Amino acid sequence: MKHPLVSVITPSFNQGKFIKETILSVFSQNYDNIEYIIMDGGSTDNTLNVIRKFGKKLKCISEPDYGQADAVNKGFLLAKGEILGWLNSDDTLNPGALDRIVKQFTKDPHLIMVYSDANFIDKDGNVIGEYPTEDFSLNRMADNCFLCQPTVFIKAEVFKEIGMFDIHLHTCMDYDYWIRIGKHFSVDRISYMKGIYNANSRMHNENKTISSRKKVYMESMKIQKKYFGTISKRWILAYIKEIMFKKSLKISDL
């Protein structure tokens, strides 16, 4: 695995204003053994026009899907890489990210997952904060999702062992998957590249974390109850704050 193929999958739907920057962040990497696949859900804006300008540098499939998790699953099934990553169509990789990630994997072949620190950026690409990342702990995962998804890269064998993303989840499929990995693999096979900022998560009004916050909280709490048998008080309080004066909290829905 000195120079393994890295497959990057981008699920896309009507993100024409951001996807060019996302694509360029992949093609500007100083690691050249990259397979880039964009799974578009049938965009009706200028997304496909932007993608077509890159020609055969990337593979793009545009067809209806059942959401983000389904698009990522389809992309991973097509991917040929030994190392797989998922980069949303509004997020970006930082220069040198893939080279650093590959070196981390090759330094310790026992690893099955690598992640790092990350920045939040605004709609114009300006850094507006840091993602609160921690060393991997399943117990901490019961209270908080502390992995920034675009920084996470995984060996292809992981998906063969524990399956794909849950297509019934629409906002927290990544949180669900990190827990599944933590329950299946020992913590020494997961590496946190502390102090290294490999990716940026974009915050804007159309971002699901912002526009669908109530749904994020509900899915997260259901996931917590499913895997840990309890729900974090911090998430319940955040949900109550979000729906205050709008809708009563239905614990029976969990």
Question: pLDDT by residue (tens digit) across 160-218?
Answer: 999 999 999 999 999 999 999 999 999 999 999 999 999 999 997 665 555 567 888 88
With H, G, I as helix, E, B as strand and everything else as coil, classify residue 67: coil
Judge contact between 171 and 219, C-beta under 8 A.
yes
Determine contact, residues 239/221, Cβ cutoff 8 Å.
yes
Residues in the chain: 254
pTM (2 d.p.): 0.91
The predicted structure's pLDDT at residue 241: 79
Q: Where are the domains of the chain?
A: 6-204, 212-254
6-204: CATH, from 3.20.20.140, 3.90.550.10, 1.20.58.220, 2.30.40.10: 3.90.550.10
Alpha carbon distance 218, 83 (integer Å): 31
Q: What is the pLDDT of residue 254?
A: 42
